[in-house]
Amino acid sequence: MKENTFSEKDSLELISQMLKQTKDNLGVGSGNIFLYYGYSAFFISLIVFGFVYFTANNVWAALWFLMFVPNVIICVKNKKDKPHVVTYMDKAIANTWLVIGALFSLTIVAIIVLGLCVGLINFALMLPLSLIYAGIGTSITGIIMNEKVLVYTPLLSFLIAIYMLLALSIHNADTTYWHLYFGIAVVLMMIIPGHVINRKSIKQCSRNGIRSYIPS
Q: What is the pTM of this model?
A: 0.79
Q: Which of 44, 25, 41 is nearest to 33 (CA)?
A: 41
Cα–Cα distance, 149 to 199 (Å, whole number):
12
For the chain, the straight-line distance linking the first and the last C-alpha, in angstroms and rounded, comes to 46
Cα–Cα distance, 185 to 191 (Å, whole number):
9
- DSSP code for 25: T
CB 103 within 8 Å of CB 133: yes
CA dihedral 30, 33, 36, 39 (to 10 degrees): -80
HSE on the CB side for 129, CA within 13 Å? 17
Tens of pLDDT, residue by residue over 105-158, are 999 999 999 989 988 777 888 999 999 999 999 999 999 888 899 999 999 999
Tens of pLDDT, residue by residue over 50-72, are 999 999 988 899 899 898 888 88
Name residues whose C-beta falls within 8 Å of residue 4's C-beta, 6 or more positions apart in sequence. Answer: none
| Amino acid code (one letter) for 73 | I
